[in-house]
Structure 1
Amino acid sequence: MPGLRDTERIGVRELTYEVRKRATTFKIDPADYSCPALAAQLADAWIDYHHKAALKQSHVYRAAVRSFAKFTGPHLSKLGLDPADARLDDDRIDLSEVIYAWENHLTSRYDESSTRPWDLVSSVLTLIHHRAERDPKVPDKLRRRASAPPGFRKATGQSLDEFSNAERLAIKGAAQTDLRALEKRLAWGRELLAMGRDPREHGWMVLPNLVWAARHRILTTAAMREHYPRSSRGWPPELEEVRALGRQVGISGLLRGVYGLLFPQELDLHSFRVLLSLSMLDCTIEELHVLQIPDLEFGNHGVRIVQTKNRADRVRADYHLADSAVEEDEEPGELVYEGRGDWDVPGLLRRLIQVNTLTREAFTCEPFLFTAVENKGKTKVMRAGFARFSAPGRRFTHWIGSHTDADGTPVLDISQPHDSRRLRKTAKTTRVVALGGTLSDMAGDDHSIQVFHRHYAHGTTAHVLAGTAMNRAQQLVFDKVTAKPVLVLPEDQAQLGEPEFAEALGVAPDQGAALRDGELDMGVSNCKNPHDSPHSTPGKLCHVAPAMCMACSNAVVFVSQLPQQLLLADHIERMRLAMPPTRWHAVWSRQAKALAEVFEECADHIPAARQAIEDQELRLDLPLGMRTEYDR
């Protein structure tokens, strides 16, 4: 840092760094504030910290210095103190108390969901701490305050939800319609340009001449006021039609309308922004917004795009295939726009470059893809520049509101807020719907699971899918818990091989015949398919029979198997005495309940089954593995 007492020097503090690939200079003039010494010290700390911390940008630190200095002067004056005495290396004025008052001022000024107050206070504290590490004259109380966080909790901000599918389709349709209208309008403008001549010699009331003047940049508000009456009643009808395109009244509307016949304006470029945001899943609004023509490399099969994400300090290249490169037998999916070529990412980028070709020929401007011709400022001169989509009447919400019917009623019913970042979330959740898989599948290659969970998984679509997945998992468990065997009476057992009986049982006729003949006998019941058990790995022989047969939807019970089931019920009751209650309930309660229901349905056959056990000296045949797994 320069000399610690050098804040007495006079001069504007300047810092230059790159913003949107262009070197931009930012300034703080201490003389603009009634506490110039404090403002100068903080400005010096800002510049020094920017270089020492190797920051790429430091907008928030500059804004914090200006906000704090602007507040400090009037605040100290109200207290009867001289703002000129405020310094970081002097304790005549307690800056800790000033910071506390500033915090209260910011929290009352901004909405409770805004993160701006926390960012500003945190930035000033960082700069004071940076100064205190290098200047022993900084008071101890101010040092301690600078080492602590802001005195209020940082707001989390309002989470943005994605657009609904109906809204997505409506926005996409409106953008496609606008894009076609823009290209048609520019084509008409080029036809008029070819017919136009210099209006200074051939008249100002001829539309082609006005278009010619716009192309050669001699059409200005001042020139038109010399040749047009204030009232538009005497204008030719075609000029009135063009004035309506300018969305303003009088000469200003005509000026914008004529230039709009040759050059796209910010409101026109929203259609490209919308369509590209919905189709480029791996590109943020920030990355898309600052793309320049040199960042694109077109090939026969698509386009290679070099994208820069400032927040992540990352530059990467992505390749987007053209729809025409898709195999002929492969249908376009949900994430691909209808049509071939012109509505895919390469096609949209080619069309965006094409609509701005004349802009780059007529104006000296940087090669941003989103370049618009606007009449900003007091001079009302049309200039070409970077489309920021932030000026009044040019934001995303204004583009949505510009779609009206003949009565002026909005035709796009889009939920608030009209934030362009919701387009990105909509594209990501569309991918979620397409995949419908795990969180790692949904995160994709351009996010970690944590980032996706924090910024995208809170959306309504993701919540609905998560709820559906949870319901499906719970239903599987519920079906497993409530599964019951099917009881087949003796008169129906002999007919299981017939198609209608087998279909009623839910098996093929050959399976029905195998059940009838005892080929699928599992001990206490028969099984529809021992290799497709819900309790075992599909394709492998069930390993939990007969312990879990009475709690399985595959089980088919014949009355002839009642003796074995009675023996199993007796075994379960013995286990009730031998096992802890919680363990017995977890292992055997479902089977005991299912057996009781079977015995209730076959009450007339129970005495005969008990007699058969006694006469034939039947014993329950349980595998050794079952005894070690279930009976302990």
Structure 2
Amino acid sequence: MPKPRRKGRNDAERDRLRAALANPVPPGGIGPRVVELPRQLLAVDPSDFRCSRLAMQLADEWVEYVAATAITTHAKTYHMAITRLCKYVDKELGPAAETASLTDPNLLDRLVKWELSLPESYAPSSTYPWVLAGAVRVLIIRRDDHPDRPVAPDLARLARGPALLGSGEKTERDEFTRQEKQALVRAAWQSVHATRKRLEEGWALAEQGRHPDQGGWTSIPDLLWGFAHEQITPEDIHRVVPAPRTWPPELQTLGTGPSGVFVPQMARRQLARKLFAMLYPHHLDLHAFRILLMDATGHASEEVTGFGEADVEFLPKGVRLTLLKNRAEHRRHRAFRDQSAPEEPAPDEDTDGHLTVNWPRREASEVVRQLLDLTARVRAKAPHVTHTLFVSATVRNNFTVVFDEWRPVSKSSFKSWLDATGVEIKGDPHIGRMRKSVKVEKAIVSEGRISAAADDHTEETFATHYAQGTTLRILSGRTIATAQQHWLDKALARVDGPTVISGTTGEVDQAVLEDSGLSALEAEDIIAGQLDMGVSHCKNPYQGPYSRPGELCAVAPLRCLECRNAWILPSNLPQLLLFKAHLERLRTVLTPQAFERLWGQSWVNLRAVLEDRTPEELDQARKHIEAGQAVLDLPLAANTEFDA
């Protein structure tokens, strides 16, 4: 008969806190203030601090605030803030801390210095300093709102005033590259196949064994039989199995630690863990299922690991899951349809050269089926766990076995899986990057429509947390550049300016114009001066881009320098100089924005034409103007400009 377990210090403390919780201390009373969370008791005992009065005042507000708001996660933050502040006041004031209180205006300086000192303990991008300072301010404001609980006016003004600390610059994680994500999915499927194979071989060996008392305590099939039929425990491995140095080679292989070195002092514990891993999935095995479910569903880690057997409904071609997002406290039912599989699944070759069928890669139904199958035995031994399929068997250091839910709280756990599978990841090995990778793929498939990509949260959240990745930034840049080029090409196709005949001296003959692309009739009319529009000649005044087809152009000569029908000959140079003088006058009376909008394109084209002329040609044209041989005829409306 096992001996009753002796109560330790932790048990006594837990009993004390439960007694305090059953008989809560009234505000202002003596004793610990206790808050009960789902799996934890938090307490602030004013007697632990010299500034016991200050701790009591803050703790009273904390207890009432938690009860009134039903907060759970943030209750720990308030507890930490109170503890940090009281320890700081004790250190700064020494014996004088006994008089510290929220009614003392002298506490203002200490509170300000405490807030400003918080960033020293955290990384530059951490939000904790701002959160902790804000928590204390909330408690002070709450106390100040109570008519019977006085607070020094200076402290109340500080609590209600602007924050002294920034909220921190949150560094968004980048998504996995496409190659990294493919490697993760491939390694996950290979891990699932390896886990299934290991468990099948383990139970097959167990069926070949018998009780170790009848067989042998160094026989792997007999030890597996004992564990499978619950006839022995890991404690028996510790007590009964012979000295590790006498083990046969196959047993020493199982007793080897992660480093690959056989350490006799640790061999029994490693043996027990390896034997259980041959019968039940362990914590590293479940990383693969989390990756595959995140890839197949696009949901967060907490959602794909937070549904139980009752939350699964298989459909004829897919599966419907009930997912819970803890942070948003939002429960939703999502159906995931199966993809059409190829007639012959494509095999992949693993690192050992073995062929493994990895299809289907993105079917949530298949992943859920395999997860249900591989964890069935663990769930049968852990009936208290109904809210998740992610359960595992763990042999602790004291040789006790725990069948319980999987809690991948440490980033190093995922890193260990990456190392074990040989997947190399650049940057932060965080599982949250997997969700971002899926979001990026969805955004690409939906051609950048945020409403389609942000199907499980707001568009603002998507733009803030998921649209900052490298892939989407590159694609956005390409989209913007393509759009800009499209509109630029369209603008150039609409207004590509006049055709300039240069590089000739004297009069231009008809042959030159015909060689430049004009018909014989058009060239003849230009030579005869019948198509002279003032600052240029026009190929066809009745087909202008600014008037209806068949109507005479109504904007000549003001828009000739923006028209593709215009032909500028050397004889037009004097009128061009006069037109330049006209535009220069307009630049002095119009705002830069209005001039750019009305005359920007004409000004650019005019300068380009004039810069192409030689100084001798320009001098000759000015002499024509001075001699009165060149006149610029403009419409009457051209002499009046309205700056709209």
Task: Assess same fold via TM > 0.5.
Answer: yes
* Pair 1:278-2:295 in alignment: yes
Alpha-carbon deviation of 1:99? 3.1
Unaligned runs of 5+ in 1: 17-22, 329-337, 405-411, 497-511, 516-522, 537-541, 604-619
Secondary structure at the aligned position of 1:228 is classed as: coil
Distance 1:491 1:180, change over 3 A: farther
Distance (Å, rounded) in 1 between the aligned partners of 2:88 and 2:64: 27
* Pair 1:454-2:472 in alignment: no
Task: Give the match for residue 79 of structure 1.
Answer: 93
Task: Give the match for residue 286 of structure 2.
Answer: 269
Secondary structure at the aligned position of 2:322 is classed as: strand
Task: Give the match for residue 430 of structure 1.
Answer: 441
Distance (Å, rounded) in 2 between the aligned partners of 1:68 and 1:132: 17
Distance (Å, rounded) in 1 between the aligned partners of 2:554 and 2:247: 92
Out of 441, 447, 465, the position equivalent to 2:475 is 465
Distance 1:14 1:597, change over 3 A: closer
Decide which moves more: 457-466 or 244-253.
Answer: 244-253
Out of 212, 215, 219, the position equivalent to 2:225 is 212
* Pair 1:142-2:155 in alignment: yes
Secondary structure at the aligned position of 1:136 is classed as: coil
Aligned positions of 1:318-467 closer than 5 A: 318-324=334-340, 341=360, 343-367=362-386, 368-376=388-396, 379-391=398-410, 395-404=413-422, 412-437=423-448, 440-441=450-451, 443-467=453-477
Tell which structure's C-alpha radius of gyration is larger: 2
Secondary structure at the aligned position of 1:307 is classed as: strand
Distance 1:257 1:105, change over 3 A: farther
Alpha-carbon deviation of 1:381? 1.6
AA aligned to 1:250 is A
Alpha-carbon contact 2:583-2:603 (below 8 Å) kept: no
Aligned positions of 1:551-562 closer than 5 A: none
Task: Give the match for residue 30 of structure 1.
Answer: 45
Alpha-carbon contact 2:25-2:31 (below 8 Å) kept: no
Secondary structure at the aligned position of 1:8 is classed as: coil
Alpha-carbon deviation of 1:139? 2.9
Secondary structure at the aligned position of 1:290 is classed as: coil
Secondary structure at the aligned position of 1:28 is classed as: strand
Out of 156, 163, 166, the position equivalent to 1:153 is 166
Alpha-carbon deviation of 1:321? 0.5
TM-score scaled by structure 1? 0.71
Distance (Å, rounded) in 1 between the aligned partners of 2:455 and 2:433: 20
Alpha-carbon contact 1:46-1:127 (below 8 Å) kept: yes
Distance (Å, rounded) in 2 between the aligned partners of 1:230 and 1:85: 64
Distance 1:173 1:629, change over 3 A: farther
Distance 1:563 1:311, change over 3 A: same
Alpha-carbon deviation of 1:84? 5.5
Aligned positions of 1:70-149 closer than 5 A: 72-73=86-87, 75-76=89-90, 79-81=93-95, 86-88=100-102, 91=104, 94-134=106-146, 136-140=148-152, 141-149=154-162
AA aligned to 1:26 is L
Distance 1:574 1:388, change over 3 A: same
AA aligned to 1:151 is L
* Pair 1:295-2:307 in alignment: no
Aligned positions of 1:104-253 closer than 5 A: 104-134=116-146, 136-140=148-152, 141-217=154-230, 219-231=232-244, 233-244=245-256, 249-253=266-270
Secondary structure at the aligned position of 2:246 is classed as: coil
Secondary structure at the aligned position of 2:41 is classed as: strand
Alpha-carbon deviation of 1:491? 10
Alpha-carbon contact 1:302-1:322 (below 8 Å) kept: yes
Alpha-carbon deviation of 1:356? 0.6
Query: What's the CA shift string for 1:386-407, capped at 9, x where partnerless?
Result: 22212585x2222222234xxx
Distance (Å, rounded) in 2 between the aligned partners of 1:428 and 1:280: 10
Query: What's the CA shift string for 1:68-87, capped at 9, x where partnerless?
Result: 33552474266332655555
Task: Give the match for residue 586 of structure 1.
Answer: 600
Distance 1:257 1:590, change over 3 A: same
Alpha-carbon contact 2:382-2:404 (below 8 Å) kept: no
Distance (Å, rounded) in 2 between the aligned partners of 1:388 and 1:544: 76
Distance 1:298 1:471, change over 3 A: same
Alpha-carbon contact 2:54-2:86 (below 8 Å) kept: no
Alpha-carbon contact 1:46-1:62 (below 8 Å) kept: no
How many residue pairs get aligned? The number is 554
Alpha-carbon deviation of 1:300? 0.9
Query: What's the CA shift string for 1:497-525, capped at 9, x where partnerless?
Result: xxxxxxxxxxxxxxx9xx9xxxxxxx945
Alpha-carbon deviation of 1:456? 1.7
Task: Give the match for residue 504 of structure 2.
Answer: none
Out of 66, 73, 76, the position equivalent to 1:62 is 76
Alpha-carbon contact 2:33-2:63 (below 8 Å) kept: no
Q: CA RMSD of the aligned region, Å?
A: 5.0
Alpha-carbon contact 2:300-2:435 (below 8 Å) kept: yes
Aligned positions of 1:534-553 closer than 5 A: none
Alpha-carbon deviation of 1:301? 1.6
Alpha-carbon contact 2:31-2:47 (below 8 Å) kept: no
Distance (Å, rounded) in 2 between the aligned partners of 1:543 and 1:196: 103
TM-score scaled by structure 2? 0.70
